[in-house]
Chain A
């Protein structure tokens, strides 16, 4: 499957400045592995060393957070859009 992956501002310099890239894979995890292959500077910024999703990022398939789907095993379809955004959190404590 060919899908568009949209990158957050923070990661664009590691992908040659691109806001989005076209990648292949049958699942979100495979697409993100393809992202790391295409742009090695992104290694470790989206997926951890053991291949799971980094807790400082949110990954979406179209409108849905993949943590509430099948996580990295979520299947993608032709023309789907995978978006990556920073997880934004903090607080007084």
Chain B
């Protein structure tokens, strides 16, 4: 698998892996949230970059153009992940009518350079999933491996 340099300042693996189940849960949540943007958190092993749990969260912005991970859902996910020995690896959200590429809003508000930023585009009939690292305003796409 080709790896992409996440750039200076990023830590952890240069790529995101997830099970087909996690990917399906993520896309299903985004479809349920439509026409609003859907969002949630992914948890797993930070050392390997493997997401094993999808935490769908409410979009507190309730908007087709913006998302805000509901703060209480975030706390609940963080605690659950920690109890399972996992860490929050990153966040996913949907773009309902645009490419799966981080918008200027996404870049400006990316909180953590170690996170994976996953975009689910619902623009086309088949949802597409991409993952990025965002470090100091620089966006780098990384490979997404979907495991069985």
* Residue of B98, B103, B114 touching A90 (CB-CB under 8 A): B103
Interface size class of B (residues with CB under 8 A): 20 to 34
Q: Interface of chain A, helix or strand or loop or mixed?
A: mixed
> Which residues of chain A come closer than 8 Å to B24, judged between CB atoms?
none
Interface check B127, CB cutoff 8 A: no
Q: Which of A22-30, A55-63, A70-78 sits within the interface?
A: A55-63
> Which residues of chain A come closer than 8 Å to B98, judged between CB atoms?
92
> Which residues of chain A come closer than 8 Å to B72, judged between CB atoms?
60, 63-65
Q: Is there an interface contact between A10 and B111, defined as CB atoms closer than 8 Å?
A: yes
Interface check A15, CB cutoff 8 A: no
Q: Within residues 49 to 97 of chain B, which ones have a CB less than 8 A from any CB in chain A?
A: 61, 63-69, 71-72, 74-75, 78, 87-88, 91, 93, 95-97
> Which residues of chain B come closer than 8 Å to A67, judged between CB atoms?
71
> Which residues of chain A come closer than 8 Å to B91, judged between CB atoms?
88
Interface residues of B (CB under 8 A from A): 37, 39, 41, 61, 63-69, 71-72, 74-75, 78, 87-88, 91, 93, 95-98, 102-103, 105-106, 109-112, 114
Interface residues of A (CB under 8 A from B): 8-10, 56, 58, 60, 63-65, 67, 83, 85-93
